[in-house]
Amino acid sequence: MLVYPCGLDVSSRSLCFLAARLREHRRRIGSRWRRLTADRQALLTLAHLRNGTTYAQLAAGFGVGTSTVYRYVIEAVDLLAELAPTLAEAVRAASTKAYVLLDGTLLPIDRIAADRPFHSGKHHKHGMNVQVITDPFGELLWASPALPGAVHDVRAAREHGIVDALDQARIT
């Protein structure tokens, strides 16, 4: 496999933020030595999340094994997920807005035809259904866990308790 340098259209601020979280996590768990520094792990993770670079390509580019790439990406994504607001926090923020938007979106995935729960008849492709709450300016307040693409938006909103949470907060 040939390896070449490439650009990543992500701010250095994002890289520094993730690297700081990784350093803090490594200190907390008492990790003494890693194949890559926290900065390189952050870069590896951002390359995967932003460009969809495969684990094999990242492994060749960073000089580590594919299983190491997988562990590094999962570790970083879990750290980022811990920072995400809960539905209750999002509803609290939404109550200060004039109105909010609740919409479902299909995130395309690579699946075979046998995986019927992931096939969206509306979009004619496989995907994962994610519900999002945004403010009037499009600022993301909350994103739900993913459900199979065959799940309708209304059902997904009910399963996640979004409708009840917004109703209890008297947000219509």
Per-residue model confidence (pLDDT) at position 56: 94
Distance CA 12, CA 17 (A): 9
- Asked whether residue 3 is assigned to any structural domain, the reply reads no
Q: What is the pLDDT of residue 127?
A: 87
pLDDT tens per residue across span 87-116: 999 999 988 888 889 999 988 887 665 667
> Which residues have a Cβ under 8 Å from the Cβ of 84 and sit 6 or more positions away?
142, 143
| 3-state DSSP assignment of residue 83 | coil
Would the CA dihedral through 61, 65, 70, 72 be positive or negative?
negative
1 in any annotated domain: no
pLDDT at residue 172, as a whole number? 66
Q: Same domain for 42 and 110?
A: no
**Which residues span the domain enclosing 68?**
12-82
Write down the H helix ranges in the chain.
12-29, 38-51, 55-62, 66-82, 87-94, 153-159, 162-168
The 10s digit of each residue's pLDDT in 153-166 is 899 999 999 989 98
Q: What is the pLDDT of residues 65-85, one digit of tens each?
A: 999 999 999 999 999 999 999
